[in-house]
């Protein structure tokens, strides 16, 4: 049973992460061209300014 649980974690984790990334990228595709431009500009302005706590 313990091995089955680890197999589920090892296989299911990346699959779940890939699904979340796909859904987030789907949101980006729905943006209009103006919204994409603003999003890209803000991302460039904030690049490297994140603070990790």
In a domain, 17, yes or no: yes
Q: How many domains does the chain have?
A: 1
How many whole angstroms from its chain centre is CA 47?
17
- Decide: pTM greater than 0.75: no
Q: What is the pLDDT of residues 12-50, one digit of tens each?
A: 999 999 998 888 887 666 778 888 889 889 888 888 777
In a domain, 50, yes or no: no
Cβ pair 16, 8 in contact under 8 A:
no
Is the pLDDT at 8 greater than 70? The verdict is yes
For residue 17, the model assigns a pLDDT of 92
Domain that holds residue 11: 2-45
In a domain, 26, yes or no: yes
DSSP 6-19: HHHHHHHHHHHHHH
For residue 16, the model assigns a pLDDT of 92
In a domain, 32, yes or no: yes
In a domain, 51, yes or no: no
Residue 31 dihedral angles phi and psi, to the nearest 5°: -70, 145
For residue 28, the model assigns a pLDDT of 64
In a domain, 18, yes or no: yes
């Amino acid at each position: 049973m313990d091995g089955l649980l680890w197999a589920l974690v090892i296989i299911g984790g990346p699959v779940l992460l890939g699904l979340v990334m796909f859904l987030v990228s789907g949101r980006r595709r729905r943006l209009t061209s103006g919204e994409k431009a603003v999003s890209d500009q803000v991302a460039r302005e904030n690049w490297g300014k994140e603070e990790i706590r």
